[in-house]
Amino acid sequence: MAKQQDPFLTLRSVTKTFIDHGEQRVVLDGVNLDVERGAFVTILGSSGSGKTTLLHIVGGIDTPDSGDVLIDGSDLTGLSDTDRTRFRRRHVGMVFQLFNLIPTLTVQENILLPAELEGTVDARLRRHAEVLLDRVGLSDRSETYPERLSGGEQQRIAIVRALAHEPLFVLADEPTGNLDAENSARVLSLLLQLTREAGRTLLMATHDHDIARQATLVCRLQGGELTTHSAAHALETR
Ligand SMILES: Nc1ncnc2c1ncn2[C@@H]1O[C@H](COP(=O)(O)OP(=O)(O)O)[C@@H](O)[C@H]1O
Ligand SMILES: [Mg+2]
């Protein structure tokens, strides 16, 4: 069991190497991180620095070569593939740069999909999804297909999908990377509001220093190493 004072998320000596055209590429080279429950963490780093790899390891989509990934007292690296998939579906909400909505499903079907896969759709969850859809200003679009929506609208739907099943934490991979300034601001503000008021921990990969400014913890990935800073310090030295 997790003790109250334990960090919500701990990474210990996490390593990941990919083989690319016969060459080894060390993407994570002994990454350590402690994240408090309810924190908003941003991960800065140039393209190819390993931000997505790190988020995928935290979210149980990928596994590290070595090291520990402790989330709310559970060690993800000790789980079988099946249990890791179950953990991910039940406890992780994901928001992607390219929205990743399924084009053949309606907005409502997309939103309920993670819970459908887990067999946990019930009246309460449907109601919660409706409330969230209303909060992002799209309650009249539930029967629409994604292609009829703008990028900003698709990302607002993806936020609802990430949160409807009440995940333990939320991972956002450059969620505003494909949006104009106005839509970026709206998507970011919704994501922050909705995760904060539910007390959920949010980890976000981003290039955007204005986003990092709002984080409780700013991390930088470079050369396989992760350094952490308070938001103010990271931005002073950019
Ligand atoms: N499945 C994979 N196979 C081989 N190389 C990969 C794989 N996934 C990522 N990489 C490589 O790992 C590095 C980090 O990728 P990524 O985590 O996507 O970085 P970022 O999200 O910061 O742009 C890149 O060089 C990428 O090409
Ligand atoms: Mg990436």
CATH number at residue 79: 3.40.50.300
Instruction: Look at residue 208 in the predicted model and tell me its pLDDT.
Output: 85
Which residues fall within 8 angstroms of residue 40, CB to CB, at 6 or more apart? 192, 195, 196, 201, 202, 204, 214, 215, 216, 217
Minimum CA distance residue for ligand 1 atom 5: 18
- Count structural domains, the chain: 1
Grade residue 235 by pLDDT with cuts at 50, 70 and 90: low
Is the confidence at residue 215, as pLDDT, over 50? yes
> Span 156-179, mean pLDDT?
96
Element at 220 (helix H, strand E): strand 217-222
Minimum CA distance residue for ligand 1 atom 4: 18
Asked if residue 24 belongs to a domain, the reply is: yes
Place of tokens 């946990």: 120
Asked if residue 147 belongs to a domain, the reply is: yes
Asked if residue 238 belongs to a domain, the reply is: no
> Span 4-15, mean pLDDT?
90
> Span 15-28, mean pLDDT?
95
> Span 160-183, mean pLDDT?
95
> Span 163-169, mean pLDDT?
95
Average pLDDT, the chain: 93
Element at 17 (helix H, strand E): strand 9-20
Residue 51 CB less than 6 A away from ligand 1: yes
Asked if residue 2 belongs to a domain, the reply is: no
**Residues belonging to the chain:** 238
Which residues fall within 8 angstroms of residue 135, CB to CB, at 6 or more apart? 190, 194
H-only helix segments in 138-230: 151-163, 181-197, 209-212
Is the confidence at residue 238, as pLDDT, over 70? no
Q: What count of other Cβ atoms lies within 10 Å of the Cβ of residue 198?
A: 12
Grade residue 128 by pLDDT with cuts at 50, 70 and 90: very high
Q: Are 96 and 161 in contact (CB under 8 A)?
A: no
Asked if residue 64 belongs to a domain, the reply is: yes
Instruction: Look at residue 230 in the predicted model and tell me its pLDDT.
Output: 73
Grade residue 173 by pLDDT with cuts at 50, 70 and 90: very high
**CA of 49, closest atom in ligand 1:** 22
Is the confidence at residue 47, as pLDDT, over 60? yes
Place of tokens 């935290």: 58
Residue 26, both tokens: 């060390």
> Span 165-176, mean pLDDT?
96
Q: Are 132 and 166 in contact (CB under 8 A)?
A: no
- The reply to whether the predicted model has a pTM over 0.95 is no
pLDDT in tens, 66-123: 999 999 988 999 999 999 999 999 999 999 999 999 999 999 999 999 999 989 999 9
Place of tokens 């083989």: 19
Q: For a substitution probing ligand 1, which of 29, 42, 47, 52 has the most ligand atoms within 8 Å of its CB? A: 52
Q: What is the CA radius of gyration of the chain?
A: 18
| Residue ranges making up the domain that contains 220 | 9-233
Asked if residue 4 belongs to a domain, the reply is: no
Is the confidence at residue 26, as pLDDT, over 70? yes
Cα 227 to ligand 1 centroid, rounded to whole Å: 19
Q: Are 67 and 11 in contact (CB under 8 A)?
A: yes
CA nearest neighbour of 43 among 236, 211, 237: 211
Is the confidence at residue 234, as pLDDT, over 60? no
Which pairing describes strands 92-95 and 169-173: parallel, antiparallel, or unpaired? parallel
Asked if residue 223 belongs to a domain, the reply is: yes
Instruction: Report the share of the chain in percent with pLDDT over 70.
Output: 95
Asked if residue 167 belongs to a domain, the reply is: yes
DSSP state of 139: G
Instruction: Look at residue 231 in the predicted model and tell me its pLDDT.
Output: 63
CA nearest neighbour of 77 among 57, 103, 98, 106: 57
Dist. CA 27–CA 129, nearest whole Å: 37
